[in-house]
Structure 1
Amino acid sequence: MPSATEEPGAAAAPPPRLTLITRPGCHLCEVAREAIGRVVAVTGDRWVEVDVTGDLELERDYGDRLPVVLLDGREHGYWRVEEDRLLRDLAA
């Protein structure tokens, strides 16, 4: 049964292909956010940002390498967004 916000018969939106893992006060995270914004302006892909604060598993897995970019749930890069590479991989 559709949720209250879904229209009957409407297809669910696919999950975002990109995830940016960040934390507050992270300068490189701000730079990565801007880079992803430029990439998705070209590709039209959706993305989400996830804060590691309070998530012990994310903090353990990614906390020393923030920001981290996941593409389709797999690690694509960390510290800096390689925009050309990300554009190429999104098109693949």
Structure 2
Amino acid sequence: METTRITLIGKPGCHLCDDARAVVVRVAEDLGVGWTELDITQDRELAEQYWEQIPVTLVDGHRHDFWRVDEARLRAALSV
């Protein structure tokens, strides 16, 4: 059973978010973990918290990376 461990926070039209999504999808599929994506344009609280940092990735609910997703670092965090 797949458990959601990665959350990607971004917004439509963000090229860095597109790049981050590609890494997240690849890693999640390889490791068999679930992921979800949240749109800051749909959530005022997320927008206030993360507007200048998107894309932001969370692992198990804790901030992991922002602006760019380092694939090796994400894999390492998920192997714990």
TM-score by shorter chain over 0.5: yes
Structure (1/2) with the larger helix percentage: 2
Q: Percent identity?
A: 45
In the aligned structure 2, how far is the partner of 1:44 from the partner of 1:91? 11
Q: TM-score, structure 2 length as denominator?
A: 0.93
Unaligned runs of 5+ in 2: none
Q: Which residue of 2 aligns with 1:3?
A: none
TM-score w.r.t. the length of structure 1 is: 0.81
Counterpart code for 2:56: V
Q: Which residue of 1 aligns with 2:32?
A: 44
State the number of aligned residues. 80
Q: Which runs of 4+ in 1 moved over 4 A?
A: none
Please tell me the residue identity of whatever aligns with 1:22: G
Question: Unpaired runs of 5+ in structure 1?
Answer: 1-12
Corresponding residue to 2:16 among 28, 42, 51 = 28
Please report the RMSD computed on the Cα atoms of aligned residues, expressed in angstroms: 1.3
Point out the structure with max Rg over C-alpha: 1
Higher strand content, 1 or 2 = 2
The answer as to whether partners of 2:2 and 2:33 remain within 8 angstroms in 1 is: no
